[in-house]
Structure 1
Amino acid sequence: MVSRLKRSLHTIHDRWLQRRIPPSHRYQLNLKNVFIFPSRFGFGYLLTCVGLFILGTNYQNNLMLLLFQFLLAIFLLHLFVTYRNFTSVSLAVKDILPVYQQDHALLSIQLHVNNESQPFNGGLHMQLRGSKLAVLNRRADQDKEVKLLLPARQRGTFKLPRVTLSSTYPLGFFRCWTHLDFNKTLTIYPKPIPSALKLDASDANQGDAAGNVPGIDEFDTLRSFKPGDPMNRVAWKQAAKGGELSTKTFNQTQQEGGWLSLETYAGEPLEKALGLLSYQINRLSSRQHVFGLLLGNKRIEPATGEAHKHRCLKYLADYRQTINDYAAD
């Protein structure tokens, strides 16, 4: 009953925030999206002021009443100072780069001062809403940036929850905060599992065409030395025997039209099979091999390069997954 009530209240609050602070890639903090309330220390301070007022009134002590008024004035002035400082910046988030399982993604929020005559001061606390994942940058006014590491525990594409940013500058009497939805997603690739390459070139539309291209894998032959050749390629043993200077040439085998397929690991658990494919995609990409990917009813045509690599890895990450809310706990 209690948990159901909490979920209902949480849903109502989310809908209210959706209307009040809609998703955006950049926010200018203002009265509409900022909240302010006394902190615990602020309430203690205010309780002390009330005690001074009661004592001053009871004993008719004008000096104590004057002290109460002075402390209360500082408290009220602090309300405006905290709000003005917090709303002196606009916030934007950097793109979150994909990571592998069991690594950490980086959430980086940039601070941009709106008016140089009114700089932001103090630190900034950042927390993922609904999570214990938080960080405090006490040098936010100098770094103009707040960074939070996000653990990547499960593969897939996840929508980041709202980010709660807060400040208690200058004396901690008030806490000024906001809940921002930067509308960002985090992609987590399967963790690579080392394995031998298993390229299938039996596709009907592709042949097993292999050829040698200049590279660094295997020794090929010797040729006459030319000015500008790398010195580590010179055949020094032959030169030491009195022969002419020669340069070693190497080649590498380039596989065209090779295919990586999930069916190759039909006997393995799904997560392990995806991890094996993840490793092979990285290995083939580092060697600049041309390869394609067969994943269930999805097919990525053979290609090479970083864009092709990340496209294949994203297909692995999203295989049999839906976009869910990111949960750090």
Structure 2
Amino acid sequence: MTIQPPAPDRRWPVRRQDRTPLRLDRRRIYIVPSRAGMGWAALLATMFFGALNYMNNAALLLTCELATSMALTMVLSFRNLYWLELQSVSCRQAVAGEPAMLQVQLASSGRRRHRLQLDAGLQPSAWFGLAANLRPEPISLPVRFPSRGWHALPPLQLRTRWPLGLFTAWARLRLTEKILVWPAAEPAGPPLPMQAQHLQPSLPQHRPTHSPDMLRKYRPGDPPTHIAWKLLARSGEWHAKTSPASHPPDQLALHWSLTEGLPHEARIARLAHWLHQARQSGLAYSLELPTLNLPAGRDDRHYASCMNALACLP
């Protein structure tokens, strides 16, 4: 994942921006009665006025005890979020239009937490609890980005209705970090272009000295169709047929000009498709773009560099 902090926003007014790590203090936590809490409050009000009307001290005492219990649940709901620590937010590499997983690391700060709910916008939420002194596993949230390029992380909303569901306490976090989203590869794209360059071999290969009849000594793993059966029957020696033209190209050059005639985003999708094919085939490949030239490589870091370059194209 590539994350970049955004430039400061000079507009007024400015929404509060949050940076990790952070702790939820009293200024970040909001609490309101739920529907059950509103119904409970209406019931207590009815009981209170009924007890006053009939001068029933026992009913008044019961009403006051229930009201006290309701106030205590409000405090417990607030404390279930208070001083909760958001340690980090990360994301596995996201591709435009495809689901990605947002990894959120929380810590309980020495207190046990019950029935917490975390979501990122309109995505499905996660329910979890946190132990007092144990480091919990990261919480996974599915996210989706519609297009390539830099995107702000979706706002996180943390809620709880513990213990009785009479109050909803929540905190909304707007993170300043941004994530670089890779372009989606062209579906059912064409095979790799034929402009492959035979340069120096990028992988050590066994290149035997070929005899005039294009035979070499047998190596374990050679397919039976390549074995020289007639020579084996005459001499008893194992040989395999070979041809120098059967070796695949060692290095592939991918140019921006190879996608000429397509729309801009379609050209990027075509190159992303070829990069994926070259990675799967094990070839070393280079990438030439209007703004950047990347030398040949074949490892995961080189693939990520090429995809990052495509994602950052204007």
Paired with 1:50 and 1:29, the residues of 2 have a C-alpha distance of 33
Amino acid at match of 1:290: A
2:42 counterpart SS class: helix
Contact 1:235–1:245, Cα closer than 8 Å, also in 2:
no
Structure with greater proportional strand content: 1
State the match for 1:268 in structure 2: 262
Please state if 1:74 is matched with 2:74: no
**SS across alignment from 1:122:** strand
Task: State which of 166, 172, 178 in structure 1 corresponds to 2:165.
Answer: 172
Instruction: Provide the aligned C-alpha RMSD in A.
Output: 3.4
Distance change (3 Å), C-alpha of 1:174 and 1:38: same
Aligned counterparts, 1:1-329, within 5 A? 15=14, 17-18=15-16, 22-87=17-82, 89-115=84-110, 118-128=111-121, 132-137=122-127, 139-141=128-130, 145-193=138-186, 194-198=189-193, 200=195, 209=199, 211=201, 213-214=203-204, 222-223=216-217, 232-233=221-222, 243=236, 252-256=247-251, 258-320=252-314
Cα deviation, 1:178-224, whole Å, max 9, x if unaligned, reads 122333323332222222222657xxxxx7525485569xxx96535
Alpha-carbon shift at residue 73 of structure 1 (Å): 0.5
- The residue identity in structure 1 corresponding to 2:269 is G
Report how many residues are paired: 285
Which structure is larger by alpha-carbon Rg, 1 or 2?
2
Superposed CA deviations along residues 38-68 of structure 1, whole A, max 9, x for unmatched, are 2232222112211211111122122221121
Q: TM-score, normalised by structure 1?
A: 0.73
How many percent identity over aligned positions?
A: 19
Per the alignment, do residues 192 and 174 of structure 1 end up closer, same or farther by CA in structure 2, a change over 3 Å counting? same
How far 1:169 sits from its partner (Å)?
A: 0.8
Whether the aligned pair in 1 keeps the contact of 2:118 and 2:156 (CA below 8 Å) is no
Deviation at 1:176, TM superposition (A): 1.4
Q: Specify the code of the residue in structure 2 equivalent to 1:166.
A: R
**What's the CA shift for 1:33?**
2.3
**What is the alpha-carbon distance in structure 1 between the residues aligned to residue 202 and residue 312 of structure 2?**
35
Task: State TM-score, norm by structure 2.
Answer: 0.76
Q: Which amino acid aligns with 2:199?
A: A
Deviations 1:136-191 (Å, cap 9, x if unpaired)? 41x34477543221123322221113211111111111211112233332333222
Q: Distance in 1 between matches of 2:70 and 2:215?
A: 83
CA distance in structure 1 between the partners assigned to 2:84 and 2:242 by the alignment: 58
SS at structure 2 position matched to 1:105 = strand
CA drift of 1:99 comes to: 2.7
Q: Secondary structure, in 3 states, of the residue corresponding to 1:171? A: coil
**Deviation of 1:95 (Å):** 2.0
Alpha-carbon spacing, 1:271–1:58, altered in 2? closer, same or farther (3 Å): same
* Partner Cα separation in structure 2 for residue 23 and residue 89 of structure 1: 14
CA contact (8 A) 1:235 1:248 kept: no
- Flag structure 2 segments of 5+ consecutive residues without an equivalent: 1-10, 207-213
Spell out, residue by residue over 1:266-318, the C-alpha distance to the aligned partner (whole angstroms, 9 max, x if none): 21122222111001112222334332222223322333321111111122122
Q: Give the aligned residue type for 1:301.
A: P
Partners of 1:157 and 1:221 in 2: CA distance: 55
